[in-house]
């Protein structure tokens, strides 16, 4: 129970990767805030699963793409619970399409959720971490931010942007013992990848040395390590969880 006494917030914690991150951090003893924007039943399910395992969690619904909602949501958390010690910027969306036909609104929505959301949540959470002189910020990027992908210029730009933001934040916050890192999943079985056809899945599998798509638990394990005291000397890094499909830095 290495996170006893810590409060964690996982954006997009109701389902998919975020849900497994919530479960894992709660098992490590953290009090876990489950953020979501629409799917309250998935978030309640996550809450009940944590409570069923003897953990402590609470719901924190707000839209990470809306800076005013982030500010008030984070204030509510600090008032009702503790200031956040561990922030996992996991909320993400895709709005795919070839660039020639991509609407500016599809670009904006992806940027607002995946990149600006991580900025505003981190900005709100870091004040409390700076006071406590301890913190963990973990940004969920993607293998697509490193490889690129036709049909995902918006998503690839947002995810690559997170890597640069992480490195700059790591430098700004290191003096207060706050580490900032990325986790970069490859293809993981969640709602986000559920619309892939069997042909596309097969083509993806062929590019993965370990021969299979990943599970949300695989990503949660990496987040758990970066949230733990064991990772205290690691900052500004990206931990790739992709079955070997990308092996660069
Ligand atoms: P899902 O589509 O399964 O879940 C997305 C989560 O994000 C949901 O909980 C959703 O909330 C939440 N969310 C979306 N928009 C907002 C918003 N504006 N405010 C707050 N919460 C929001 O995604 P995954 O679990 O697959 O992905 C999680 C993260 O991992 C994302 O950042 C994604 O880009 C990244 N990733 C995923 C990969 C994959 O293969 N699955 C690969 C690489 C990276 P609600 O339930 O209320 O809709």
Say what the pLDDT of residue 146 is: 98
Say what the pLDDT of residue 155 is: 98
Q: Give residues (CB < 6 A) around ligand 1.
A: 11-12, 14-18, 35-39, 42, 63-65, 90-93, 113, 140, 142, 185, 187-188, 190-193
What Cα–Cα distance (Å) separates residue 109 from each residue in 27, 35, 93, 146?
Answer: 33, 18, 8, 21
> Which atom of ligand 1 is least distant from the CA of 159?
34
Active centre residues (catalytic): 155
Question: pTM to 2 decimals?
Answer: 0.98
175 CA from centroid of ligand 1 (Å): 31
What does the DSSP assignment read for 71-129? HHHHHHHHHHS---SEEEE---------GGG--HHHHHHHIIIIIIHHHHHHHHHHHHH
For the chain, list residues with pLDDT below 70. Answer: none
190 CA from centroid of ligand 1 (Å): 9
> Which atom of ligand 1 is least distant from the CA of 65?
18
Say what the pLDDT of residue 189 is: 96
8 A C-beta contact, residue 228 and residue 3 = yes
91 CA from centroid of ligand 1 (Å): 4
């Amino acid at each position: 129970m290495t996170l006893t006494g810590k409060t964690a917030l996982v954006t997009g914690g109701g389902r998919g990767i975020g849900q497994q991150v919530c479960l894992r951090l709660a098992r490590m003893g953290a009090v876990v805030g489950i953020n979501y924007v629409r799917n309250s039943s998935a978030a309640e399910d996550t809450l009940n699963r944590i409570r069923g395992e003897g953990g402590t969690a609470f719901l924190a619904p707000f839209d990470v793409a809306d800076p005013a909602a982030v500010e008030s949501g984070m204030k509510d958390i600090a008032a009702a619970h503790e200031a956040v010690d561990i922030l996992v910027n996991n909320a993400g969306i895709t709005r795919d399409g070839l660039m020639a036909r991509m609407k500016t609104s599809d670009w904006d929505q992806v940027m607002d959720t995946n990149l600006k959301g991580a900025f505003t949540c981190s900005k709100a959470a870091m004040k409390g971490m700076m006071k406590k002189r301890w913190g963990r910020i973990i940004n969920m990027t993607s293998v697509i931010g490193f490889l690129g992908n036709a049909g995902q210029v918006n998503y690839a730009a947002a995810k690559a942007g997170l890597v640069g933001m992480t490195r700059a934040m790591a430098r700004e916050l290191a003096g207060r013992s706050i580490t900032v890192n990325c986790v970069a999943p490859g293809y993981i079985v969640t709602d986000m990848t559920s619309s892939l056809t069997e042909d596309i899945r097969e083509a993806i599998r062929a590019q993965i040395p370990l021969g299979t798509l990943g599970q949300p638990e695989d990503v949660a394990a990496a987040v758990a390590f970066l949230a733990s005291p064991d990772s205290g000397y690691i900052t500004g890094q990206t931990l790739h969880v992709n079955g070997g499909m990308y092996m660069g830095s």
